[in-house]
Structure 1
Amino acid sequence: MKNLLNNWRFQLILRIVLGLFLSITGVAKIMDLAAFGKAVNGFGLLPSTWVVLVTVIIPYLELILGLMLLLNFYAKPAYVTALTMLIVFTALSAYKYFSGDISDCGCFGKLLQRKTDEKLLIENAFLMALFALGYFKMKGTKYE
């Protein structure tokens, strides 16, 4: 197992898969910013001006981070930023879930309806592990 994790092919595949994941989720949200804004507003934690700002920034940030991973351009900072965002999203989703609200998380825009449930929390924990693994196992590049 240790040899697999240190294998450059595994690291390349992991970086591409996570880059595609971020790019797809970003584009899916961009295609329906209104629905994503509704999901952001559904948390009930931000004033309306912040909801608009977050609704516009997050999808484009996801797309940019995905492209950075795909192109191996400042990939380590991209891993850290994506992991940080995922930790925040997971904490908010857990808050929403344990408050009894299992409405759509807005994670995939129109592409896929996802309820905020225990399955989502487990999947996010798995994704966090993959982003952390990508960061810690990444070999040095000239763009760090």
Structure 2
Amino acid sequence: MRNLLNNWRFQLILRIVLGLFLSISGVAKIMDLAAFGKAVNGFGLLPSTWVVLVTVIIPYLELILGLMLLLNFYAKPAYVTALTMLIIFTALSAYKYFSGDISDCGCFGKLLQCKTDEKLLIENALLMVLFALGFFKMKGTKNE
């Protein structure tokens, strides 16, 4: 297992998969910002002015982070930022789930309906492990 995690091919595939994941998620939200804004507002935690700001910033940030991973351009900061965002999103989703609301989380816009349920929390936990692996096992590059 250790050999696999240290293998440059595994690291490359992991970086590409996570980069595509972020890019697709960002583009899906950008394609329908109104629906994503509705999902953000559905968490009921932000004032309306912040909902608009978050609705615009998050999808573009996801797209930029995904492209950074795909291009291996400052990939370590991209991993850390994406992992931090995922931790926050997971905490918010857990709050929503344990409050009894299992409506769409807005993770993939209208491309894919994702309910805020235990399956989403488990998937996010797995993604957190993958982002952490990507960060900690990444070989040094010029663009760190």
**Structure 1 unmatched ranges of 5 or more:** none
RMSD: 0.3
Per the normalisation by structure 2, the TM-score is 1.00
Shift of 1:35: 0.6
Distance in 1 (alpha carbons) for counterparts of 2:132 and 2:40: 25
SS of 1:65's equivalent in the other structure is helix
**Structure 2 unmatched ranges of 5 or more:** none
Shift of 1:106: 0.1
Measured against aligned partners, the alpha-carbon deviations of 1:18-77 in whole angstroms (never above 9, x if no partner) come to 000000000000000001000000011100000000000000000000000000000000
SS of 2:58's equivalent in the other structure is helix
Shift of 1:88: 0.1
Corresponding residue of 1:131? 131
Per the normalisation by structure 1, the TM-score is 1.00
Distance in 1 (alpha carbons) for counterparts of 2:129 and 2:35: 28
Q: Moved runs in structure 1, 4+ residues, more than 4 A? A: none
Shift of 1:84: 0.2
Distance in 1 (alpha carbons) for counterparts of 2:77 and 2:118: 29
Identity of aligned residues (%): 94
Shift of 1:140: 0.3
